[in-house]
Amino acid sequence: MRVALMVVAVLSGPVMAAEPPKKVLPLDGDVFEAAGRPAFLIPAKPAPDTPAKPWVWYAPTLPNLPGPEEKWMFERFRAAGIAVAGIDAGESYGSPAGNKVFDALYAAMTAKGYSRKPVLLGRSRGGLMTLSWAAANPDKVGAFAGIYPVCDLVSYPGVERAAGAFELKPAELKEKLKQFNPVDRLDGLAKAKVPLFAIHGDIDKVVPLEANSGRVKERYAALGGTMTLIVPPQQGHNMWPGFFQCRELVDFVVAHAGVGLVLESPQDYQVVQRSAKNVGTVRVRGKLGEAARKADALEYRVGTDGPWKKLGAPVKDGAFDATVEVAAGGWYQFDVRAVAGGKVAASAGIERLGVGEVFVVAGQSNSANHGAEKQVPKSGRVAAFDGTRWQPANDPQPGASGSGGSFLPPFGDAVAEKFGVPVGLVACGVGATSVREWLPKGATFPNPPTLEGNVRKRADGTWESKGDLYAAFCARMKALGPNGFRAVLWHQGESDANQKDAARTLPGKLYREYLERVIRDSRKDIGWDAPWFVAQVSYHVPGDEASPDVRAAQASLWKDKVALEGPDSDALKGELRENGGKGVHFSGPGLRAHAAKWAEKVGPWLEQQTAGKDR
């Protein structure tokens, strides 16, 4: 009776809503529970004609995983319309108990309309979990991919350590190993023709290649299955970016996740440099999935009400690449579809494509994110490119140093308002850098800059640039393609002017020589004569407000027509500088004043470039 009363008391008390589990994810997503275990979903927007929403099943999902290193590939999955999900099965090592937890996630995802054949992605011991579940459910797997995946229980964590997860004694697990060990359970996957992929270093001591991915590939081939194995030389069980930014892995997942069409270019928020006042050339590149490989035509559309037009792109091995002309302006919705027998087989699109003006911004801190107040574009028509991805140009600008504000958003707004087109910005600035640090690799000079991180001393006592900044700068410009931006905006000079150690101050003559080399060599390396604007920059603090020598060197580049005249930012003083006018960086009003000065110089020149040049 007492027990019954206690139960009644509990049931009749207030019901408190359970708090959802908490988890930090590499991208925005949802955290929920399945079978009482924390799970996550990073959603994507699949094409409307996709029969079931594609998804990647990631493991291990532990308190700290997936981590920030997975962000790059997750972004690419999401851009292809593929969601990412996972569930915390603990240190289950692919045991039956862990598989039951995985069953709960599969049921939850398919109930939400996600594909009944996800691609499983196992990192390290996540390989045991995903491959074990796949072996037990080969008819529910689209493909398996692994990043140095554990495939053999004996190799890792070892029978002794794994036995508890299987609720067996070590000797019992050893006897039943072939019943549970993924490397011994590949038959069903081979019969179901499930493709496998792995990237695995050749000096991995934690999860040896030979006992894991290597053995799976050998056995899978003997069973008639197909597996791609990439072996980076001299890589172990580590955080090398090549493991997590593997283009082949992403392509493999996309190809087998059930995506009909992947649009790689243009990207959402991309701004294409217009080639005439009224038009620009847009590169249209992508891949067809299995569902669309039999398409007999590709078509594209600009805007929601625009007509569908034929995309003159030959398809080779499922890939297509073409260019189309699009009127200056935007944002435009841009769609591509594959048509087979008059019916749409697959489609993909982006919501925001712009054809307008693109600028590359380089130099030191006042060209980057070191201002006192973060800026946000007010026009809604300014985007930023970090070298691989486009996004709204909210500070801090991707690709540049610092975590504060920059002049770029208000500058972009000014250009967008004046010319009526979207603006793209590519920020490359690095704080506290001398022009000497921006020189190509091996370029020499007699004395080092104040900071020596990007230079090194030679045996003869002179110094040379390591070339890292120059190489990264050129790579960012090359990524935009020939004539892919309007101009470089160069704002730098403080770290060459009036240094405390006079030996590290750069004479104006050498400043001119070195910057001219950066300009001319970079033009050669990117394959076209990109215009440059060079600002007058040498201000430090009140009382050290200008270096006539450096300023004259910067101005000489305009006079000799090596570069165009940029703004005089040394003139921005007082409350336009941080800390009540005591700092070298700009305050919030100073950033906006700096942007206005750039717009004053760039605007008239841009008018000349576009005047009467319709096509």
Q: How far apart are CA 254 and CA 374, in angstroms?
A: 36
Q: How far apart are CA 545 and CA 479, in angstroms?
A: 37
412-436: pLDDT as tens digits:
999 999 999 999 999 999 999 999 9
Q: How far apart are CA 415 and CA 422, in angstroms?
A: 8
Amino acid at 506: L
DSSP, collapsed to helix, strand or coil, labels residue 577 as strand
Instruction: Read off the tokens for 316.
Output: 């080779």
Mean pLDDT for 76-86 is 92
* pLDDT confidence of residue 16: 39
60-77: pLDDT as tens digits:
999 999 999 999 999 999
* Residue 39: count of CB within 10 angstroms of its CB: 23
Mean pLDDT for 210-235 is 96
Which of the four pLDDT bands, split at 50, 70 and 90, describes residue 19? low
Single out the residue of 387, 285, 302, 363 nearest to residue 536, CA to CA.
Answer: 363
Least confident range from 13-27, 185-199, 298-312: namely 13-27
Q: With 60 as the cut, is the pLDDT of residue 1 above it?
A: no
Kind plus residue range of the DSSP H or E element containing 356: strand 343-363
Question: Quick one: DSSP state of residue 541?
Answer: B
Q: Give me the phi and psi of 254, to 5 degrees please.
A: -60, -40
Which of the four pLDDT bands, split at 50, 70 and 90, describes residue 609? very high
* pLDDT confidence of residue 294: 82
Which of the four pLDDT bands, split at 50, 70 and 90, describes residue 286? very high
Q: How far apart are CA 465 and CA 454, in angstroms?
A: 6
Which of the four pLDDT bands, split at 50, 70 and 90, describes residue 15? very low
Q: How far apart are CA 364 and CA 11, in angstroms?
A: 65
Torsion sign, CA atoms 72, 73, 79, 81: negative
Q: With 70 as the cut, is the pLDDT of residue 6 above it?
A: no
556, 565 Cβ separation under 8 angstroms: no
Which of the four pLDDT bands, split at 50, 70 and 90, describes residue 613? low
Q: With 70 as the cut, is the pLDDT of residue 49 above it?
A: no
Amino acid at 127: G
454, 388 Cβ separation under 8 angstroms: no
Q: Give me the phi and psi of 577, to 5 degrees please.
A: -105, 160
Kind plus residue range of the DSSP H or E element containing 104: helix 96-111
Q: How far apart are CA 128 and CA 140, in angstroms?
A: 17
For the chain, the average pLDDT equals 93
Query: What residue ranges define each of the domains in the chain, with the CATH number in brackets?
Result: 20-256 (3.40.50.1820), 261-354 (2.60.40.10), 357-610 (3.40.50.1110)
545-598: pLDDT as tens digits:
999 999 999 999 999 999 999 999 999 999 999 999 999 999 999 999 999 999
Residue 466 CA to its chain's centroid (Å): 25
Mean pLDDT for 368-383 is 97
Q: How far apart are CA 532 and CA 514, in angstroms?
A: 15
Instruction: Read off the tokens for 419.
Output: 């010319």
